[in-house]
Amino acid sequence: MKKVRMAGTDLTLSRICLGTDQFGSKLSGQEAFRILDHFRDLGGNFLDTANIYGKWLPDGINHSERLVGQWLRERKAAQDMVVATKGGHYDLDHPGISRVTREGIRADLEESLWSLGLERIDFYWLHRDNPAMEMEELIGILEELVKEGKIRYYGASNFCLERLEEAYAYADTHRGQGFRAVSNQWSLAVDRKQGEASQNAATGDPTMVKTNRTLYEWHRQTGMPLVPYSSSAGGYFARLEAGQMSEGMAAKYDQDRNREIFHLLQEESARCGISAFGLGQAFLLAQPFQVYPATAVSSPDQMAEFAAICGYEMPDGLAGKLLEEKYTKNC
C-alpha cells in the first residue's frame, strides 16, 4: 500500500487509515485481530481509534483502544504502526457539558496511553471543540502535552471553519505546532436530508461537522490535510452496487445526485476494474490537498482493493465531474 509523508509532520502514512470504532462493540477481539493483521500485511500502517469508542456499551470501557493496544503488544507491531486516537468527547450521559478542558483532555490521554500500551501518541485528535475556550488556551494545553512527550502531533476533529481559521491564524503568529490535520466527516455521497450544511444535525449530534464546499475550499487553499471519518457513507455505493440498500440508508442517501455519481463510478469501474466503493475512496485521494480516508471494514475481505486504490490515479476529468455533482448541482 502506498505511503506518503503527512504535510507538516515526519509521519509516513498509508493513504488509507483503518478506522477501528467497531472493535469490541460490533466486532469481537478475534475479528478485530484478523482485520488488523490483514491491514498490516497489505502495507497499511495508519490506525484510527478514540477513547470514546466502545464506551456506549453497558460496561463503559474504551474497547477499541484496548483491543488495538492488545494487538500492538501481541504482534510486537508498535514500531510498525502510526496510531491516532482522540480525546475530549463529551460524556454520553451529559452531552451538553464539554470535556474539552485541561482536566478532561489529560484524563482521556492518560487512559488512552495505558490502554494502547504506548508512551506517546503519534497523532492526537481533539474529538470535539469547546467554543467557549479561547484558541490560545486550547492550543496551549496541547503544546504542553507535546513538550511533555505524551503526543507527537495534534489535530482537530469536528471543528467548524471559524474555529479552524482561528487556530490557523494563531499558529501562524505564535511558536508551536498548531493543528496538523483536520478530521471532519466527508464522503463522495451527498446526504439527501442535510445537503452539504457544515453542521451535521442529520446524525442527531449537532457537534459533528461535515466538510461542506466552504470547508473544502479552505483545505484547498491552506493545504491542511484531511482525515475524513464516515468516508464511505456507510458503504452506500457498495450497497447500491450489490442491490442491498437498507431502508435507512435509502432514506439518507438515495437520490438523483448520488445515482448520477454512481453512474459515473460504474463507467470508470468498467474501465479500470475497481469497484464503485473503491472509486469513491479514490476520489477522496484525488484532491489537491492530502486526504487520508478513515475507512472501517467488518471483514478482511473488504480490504481487497486498498492497495489498488492507493496505486490508482483518477482522471482529472472524472474527479472534476464528481466534485461538481457533489457540490454544485442543486445545492
Asked if pLDDT for residue 264 goes beyond 50, the answer is yes
CA distance 189 to 277: 11
- Looking at residue 202, its pLDDT comes to 47
Average pLDDT, integer, range 298-305? 91
- Looking at residue 175, its pLDDT comes to 79
Average pLDDT, integer, range 219-229? 97
Instruction: Give 254-309 as a DSSP string.
Output: -SHHHHHHHHHHHHHHHHH---HHHHHHHHHHTSSS-B--EE--SSGGGGTTHHHH
C-alpha cell at 1: 500500500
Asked if pLDDT for residue 324 goes beyond 80, the answer is yes
Asked if pLDDT for residue 98 goes beyond 90, the answer is yes
- Looking at residue 329, its pLDDT comes to 59
Name the 3-class secondary structure at 89.
coil
Average pLDDT, integer, range 276-292? 97
- CA 276 to centroid of chain Cα atoms: 20
Asked if pLDDT for residue 330 goes beyond 50, the answer is no
Percent helix, strand, coil in the chain, to 5, is: 45, 15, 40
Asked if pLDDT for residue 58 goes beyond 80, the answer is yes
> Which of the pair, 331 or 44, is modelled with greater confidence?
44
Ranking 27-31, 103-107, 233-237 by mean pLDDT, the lowest is 233-237
Pair 16, 295: CB distance under 8 Å: yes
- Looking at residue 205, its pLDDT comes to 87
To which residue does cell 471532519 refer? 184
Task: State the pLDDT confidence band at 174, using cuts at 50, 70 and 90.
Answer: confident
Task: State the pLDDT confidence band at 173, using cuts at 50, 70 and 90.
Answer: confident
CA distance 202 to 26: 23
Asked if pLDDT for residue 195 goes beyond 80, the answer is no
CA distance 50 to 272: 35
Average pLDDT, integer, range 92-100? 95
Task: State the pLDDT confidence band at 51, using cuts at 50, 70 and 90.
Answer: very high
Ranking 60-69, 182-191, 279-288, 320-329 by mean pLDDT, the lowest is 320-329
pTM as predicted: 0.95
Of the candidates 89, 56, 26, the one whose C-alpha atom is nearest the C-alpha of residue 296 is 26
C-alpha cell at 66: 484496548
Mean pLDDT of all residues in the chain?
94
- Looking at residue 328, its pLDDT comes to 80
* Side-chain half-sphere exposure of 309, counting CA atoms within 13 A: 28
Helices (H) and strands (E) in the chain, counts: 12, 9
Asked if pLDDT for residue 200 goes beyond 80, the answer is no
CA distance 298 to 22: 8
- Looking at residue 171, its pLDDT comes to 86
Of the candidates 233, 182, 163, the one whose C-alpha atom is nearest the C-alpha of residue 203 is 233
- Looking at residue 331, its pLDDT comes to 41
- Looking at residue 230, its pLDDT comes to 95
Asked if pLDDT for residue 192 goes beyond 90, the answer is no
- Looking at residue 240, its pLDDT comes to 92
CA distance 170 to 135: 8
Angle between helices 102-116 and 135-147 (to 10 degrees): 30
Apex CA 109: angle with CA 22 and CA 13, to 5°?
60
- Looking at residue 197, its pLDDT comes to 53
Cα distances (Å, whole numbers) of residue 257 to 9, 54, 100, 190, 329: 37, 34, 37, 7, 8
Of the candidates 92, 167, 103, the one whose C-alpha atom is nearest the C-alpha of residue 129 is 167
Asked if pLDDT for residue 168 goes beyond 50, the answer is yes
- Looking at residue 201, its pLDDT comes to 47
- Which phi and psi (to 5°) does residue 162 adopt? -60, -45
